Amino acid sequence: MQARRLEQFNSIFKWLRKLAKQGNVGAQIILGKMYENGIGVKCDEAEAIKWYKESAKQGNVESQKKLKNIYDKKLLKK
């Protein structure tokens, strides 16, 4: 059962990455959230920012807000 879920996740993840690379805004923000929160992948802020930026470039307001929050947190840590 566990192996089947992992196989399904890997299949979906590959599909999301393909769509995101093709410019799909929805896939880009989902990948950003996955990397930001460590959902099924290791937390990777740089990778999250990469996907949020790609989505934000296309006018996605949610991604723009996510980027602002990440940068605000970085400023507060200094």
pLDDT digits (tens, 9 = 90+) for 20-29: 999 999 999 9
Give pLDDT tens digits for 39-71. Answer: 989 999 999 999 999 999 999 999 999 999 999
CB of 47 within 8 A of CB of 35?
yes
pTM: 0.87
Q: Are 29 and 63 in contact (CB under 8 A)?
A: yes
- Sort 48 into a burial class: Cβ within 10 Å, 0-12 / 13-18 / 19+: buried
